[in-house]
Structure 1
Amino acid sequence: MMKKVLLLTALVLVLPFAAFAGSSVDFTNGGGTLSGTNSGLTLTGSTLIAANGLGGGLITGSNLGTVSFSTGVLSGGTLQMGGTFAAGGAFTISGNGTGGIPNGVIFNGSFTGPVTWTLITLGNGTHNYTLTGSLTGTWYAGGTINGATVQLTINTGRGFFNGKTTVSSGDTNFTTVPEPGTLSLLGTGLIAIGGIVRRKLQMLRS
């Protein structure tokens, strides 16, 4: 009998925590000025143009909000040939309420590890740069979430990064975003466990 109680308890626990596994949300941005010195890289004026998975669907538009960030200091390499920036800084995604996007700060956090600044040399001798880094911070619906971002600059021609360029496109993805109703489902599961265990213990004592 006790084995059955333990099995039922495990099943009720698994259901709400399976729902808590959540999903992912992906944001796309374009444009904006990427400035850099040995003190760090900073993105300003980049426009949020798409959000996939926020509320379950794809939202697109020419101006849904903004994406901005700053990194820590240059810790290795160079601005021209590629290098590594320290963790820290700030990363913010804000919506303007258009098309189902929340109005206000959607994510506010920072880089959790080294930020990689990579020089890409194309076959014709021209260059692009990519910035990649992992993130952690506060989600607009509450709680802390983790993610990663990749930002691609426009082609800088045969020259190298001179302290300022434009972002061509960027993609930022967050995982383990709680599904709506997860907390209430978890609470329901815990209440059910209490009732099941109480009834089974009463049966064992009788």
Structure 2
Amino acid sequence: MRTTLWVLVLGLLLLAPGVVEADTLTFRFQGGTVAGTTALSNSDDPSELTEVSTTGVTIQGALGTVEFTTGAWNDSTWSFDPGGSITITSNGTGGLPAGVLFSGSFTSAGTWTLISYADGTSEWVFESQVSGSASPELLAALGLSSDISQFTATITIKINAATGIGTVEFGSIVSHTPEPGTLALLGVGLGGVALARMRRLKNGKNK
């Protein structure tokens, strides 16, 4: 029983999400209309995806769309409740796979702030946490590890107040995808527990 417990604890530790050493993943967009009274959304007029980048790799063009809807506004906390979603879709150009590049939901309260800079420009900034899935083909195109195909991360959406040009930035990426070696190690451990238990039962019957 004690051995079984230790193996189960080890399995949980092995399968626990781990920080993946990955560069910040950034999507640039333009246009679209962000509006709403109880939540922010550009679903009625999605923004155009114009760039996908990470350190050392940049893909530009008319690449697809960026669409998001936040959770509902909460007057008591002056923030948006967790909930809502974000979907980034590719049209298959620029060497990117056609279809959904990233799909996820906001998992923490989100703030929406207007920041003014010394040069006279200003931008709206939405900050929250997100959990979702990235296309393995997208990660391959950017030279990123497939281990982060499912992850949680900080998310910052910035929109220039004058031009409507903005970015979606993912940082502090934490993978939810156990590596194959980890799964194999857990399988060996559980197999050993099962074998030991069978031997114990067999020895008990022979007494």
TM-score bin, normalised by smaller chain:
0.5 to 0.7
Q: CA deviation at 1:176?
A: 3.1
User: How many corresponding residue pairs?
Assistant: 181
Distance 2:3 2:56 in 1: 42
Distance 1:21 1:8 in 2: 22
2:52 corresponding residue in structure 1 = 49
Residues 1:33 and 1:106: Cα distance change in structure 2 (over 3 Å) = same
2:26 corresponding residue in structure 1 = 28
SS at 2:26 equivalent:
strand
SS at 1:41 equivalent:
coil
2:66 corresponding residue in structure 1 = 68
Q: CA deviation at 1:19?
A: 4.9
Contact 2:155–2:169 at 8 Å: present in 1 too? Answer: yes
Distance 2:188 2:31 in 1: 49
Identity %: 19
- Which is richer in strand? 1
Question: Structure 1 unaligned runs (5+)?
Answer: 52-57, 78-82, 157-163
2:112 corresponding residue in structure 1 = 117
SS at 1:38 equivalent:
coil
Residues 1:109 and 1:184: Cα distance change in structure 2 (over 3 Å) = same
TM-score, structure 1 as length reference: 0.62
1:190 corresponding residue in structure 2 = 190
Question: Structure 2 unaligned runs (5+)?
Answer: 137-148
Contact 1:110–1:135 at 8 Å: present in 2 too? Answer: yes
Residues 1:49 and 1:106: Cα distance change in structure 2 (over 3 Å) = closer
1:80 corresponding residue in structure 2 = none
> Quick one: higher RCO (CA 8 Å, sep 6+), 1 or 2?
1
1:161 corresponding residue in structure 2 = none
Q: CA deviation at 1:200?
A: 4.4
SS at 1:195 equivalent:
helix
Contact 1:133–1:148 at 8 Å: present in 2 too? Answer: yes
More off after superposition, 7-16 vs 130-139: 7-16
